[in-house]
């Protein structure tokens, strides 16, 4: 297996492979960059088909966290952890404690949190072996769930995107197709509805979809047809790699802005969207609300008001990105990477 010559290797500072025979733990932690602060990023548990696939994921995701935190102006670097296991079958308190010991061995250079395949309850087991965990909630009854902050950040990102692409200042009558009404998508749908947007929702979970559509009086579409919706905005809030070349050609929307991580199936799709006059909102800028919340939770002087004020600064960051994109003719995705690198170079 290649590491230093891996296509996703991007001068990562440290890559740690850890195992625990008793619990069956097989994990990789990737620390991409700590110039701005400790590397914070979630712990993903997924039944990867191979170690190579797990390595690819952790390298890509950890680099994404560096860029996300840099553009969110957080004193954090980028890291991520993966466990090769089926979260429904293999996960156990023993495995999570073993993961905690691995995290602890890094002495705080890496801070873990929830991600797909892990819950707040899992993080409590990790926390038995290390204090370098965030997203646990601040008090009993507080779930620590960052999704409402993520959704608010996407909403603020959309304010900037529609101003730049459509010359609009408000959401009244804005037609939005929203893919995925899970933790983030449902919060976002409610906020858009309250602002007067007209929603078309989709999800593979028909029950969740039906309930939210009824609550908001929103239209629904089958998952495979959502890309053809006659809307102003496509908001991907389900899974990654949703923006393929085919989807880029099909979209009727003039703006893409959503919460999903790694929306572009391949980097060149950003250029295809750009060529079609579709404004793509760089995903790691739009969805930074969650990491902002998780960072603030680490400190004793936590204030929800301060978190939300910080989240709302995503609008300014995107204004700068969209302005630079307009002036240079480059895609916003390329400009976002450039801006992140500039900020890192200054740290
Ligand atoms: P979630 O699992 O709660 O919701 C995802 C929803 O998408 C589910 O309802 C699922 O049924 C639906 N879905 C899956 N495949 C689909 C498909 N093909 N078509 C339509 N719907 C489909 O996840 P979440 O926490 O809401 O996160 C959504 C996305 O945002 C993920 O990509 C996640 O990585 C990203 N993200 C989340 C946060 C956060 O704070 N939760 C932060 C940053 C990024």
| Residue range(s) in the chain whose domain bears CATH number 3.40.50.720 | 147-287+315-345
The pLDDT mean for the chain works out to 96
Copy the structure tokens of residue 110.
């890496």
| Residue range(s) in the chain whose domain bears CATH number 3.40.50.10860 | 14-65+76-127
180 CB under 6 A from ligand 1? yes
Examine the residue annotation and report whether 68 is marked as an active-site residue of this protein. Answer: no
CATH class for the domain made up of 147-287+315-345: alpha beta
Point out the catalytic residue in the list 68, 80, 252, 341: 80
Alpha carbons 74 and 72: distance in angstroms, whole number: 6
Residue 88 has pLDDT above 90, yes or no: yes
Is 180 a known ligand-binding residue?
A: yes
Helix (H) or strand (E) holding 233: strand 233-236
pLDDT in tens, 300-329: 899 999 999 999 999 999 999 999 999 999
Looking at residue 144, its pLDDT comes to: 76
Residue 1 has pLDDT above 90, yes or no: no
Q: How confident is the model at residue 167 (pLDDT cuts 50, 70, 90)?
A: very high
263 CB under 6 A from ligand 1? no
pLDDT in tens, 232-270: 999 999 999 999 999 999 999 999 999 999 999 999 999
Alpha carbons 133 and 13: distance in angstroms, whole number: 20
What backbone torsions phi and psi does residue 133 show, to the nearest 5 degrees? -135, 140
Architecture of domain 14-65+76-127: 3-Layer(aba) Sandwich (3.40)
Residue 141 has pLDDT above 70, yes or no: no
Residue 140 has pLDDT above 70, yes or no: no
Predicted model pTM: 0.94
Q: Which atom of ligand 1 is nearest to the CA of 181?
A: 9
Please give the C-alpha separations between residue 187 and each of 13, 213, 237, in angstroms, as whole numbers. 36, 13, 11
Name the burial class of residue 183, with classes exposed (0-12), middle (13-18) and buried (19+) by CB atoms within 10 angstroms of its CB.
middle
Secondary-structure percent of the chain, ordered helix, strand, coil, rounded to 5: 45, 15, 40
144 CB under 6 A from ligand 1? no
């Amino acid at each position: 297996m290649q590491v230093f010559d891996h296509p996703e290797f991007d001068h990562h500072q440290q890559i740690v492979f850890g195992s625990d025979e008793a619990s069956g733990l097989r994990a990789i932690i990737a620390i991409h960059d700590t110039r701005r602060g400790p590397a914070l990023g979630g712990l993903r548990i997924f039944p990867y088909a191979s170690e190579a696939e797990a390595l690819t994921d952790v390298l890509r995701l950890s680099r994404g966290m560096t860029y996300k935190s840099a553009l969110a102006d957080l004193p954090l670097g980028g890291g991520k952890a993966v466990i090769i296991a089926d979260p429904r079958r293999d996960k156990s308190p023993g495995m999570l404690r073993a993961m905690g010991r691995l995290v602890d061995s890094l002495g705080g250079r890496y801070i873990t949190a929830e991600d797909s395949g892990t819950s707040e309850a899992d993080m409590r087991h990790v926390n038995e072996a290390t204090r370098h965990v965030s997203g646990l909630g601040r008090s009993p009854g507080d779930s620590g769930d960052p999704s409402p902050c993520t959704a608010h950040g996407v909403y603020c990102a959309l304010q900037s995107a529609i101003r730049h692409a459509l010359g609009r200042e408000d959401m009244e009558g804005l037609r939005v197709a929203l893919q995925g009404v899970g933790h983030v998508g449902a919060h976002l749908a409610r906020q858009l509805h309250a602002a007067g947007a007209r929603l078309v929702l989709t999800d593979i979970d028909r029950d969740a979809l039906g309930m939210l559509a009824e609550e908001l009086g929103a239209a629904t579409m089958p998952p495979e047809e959502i890309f053809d919706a006659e809307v102003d905005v496509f908001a991907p809030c389900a899974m990654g790699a949703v923006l393929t070349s085919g989807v880029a050609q099909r979209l009727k929307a003039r703006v893409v802005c959503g919460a999903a991580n790694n929306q572009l199936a391949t980097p060149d799709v950003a250029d295809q969207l750009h060529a079609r006059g579709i404004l793509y909102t760089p995903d790691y800028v739009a969805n930074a609300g969650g990491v902002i919340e998780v960072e603030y939770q680490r400190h004793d002087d936590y204030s929800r008001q301060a978190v939300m004020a910080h989240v709302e600064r995503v609008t300014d960051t995107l204004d700068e990105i969209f302005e630079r994109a307009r002036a240079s003719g480059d895609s916003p995705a390329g400009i976002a990477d450039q801006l992140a690198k500039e900020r890192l170079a200054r740290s």
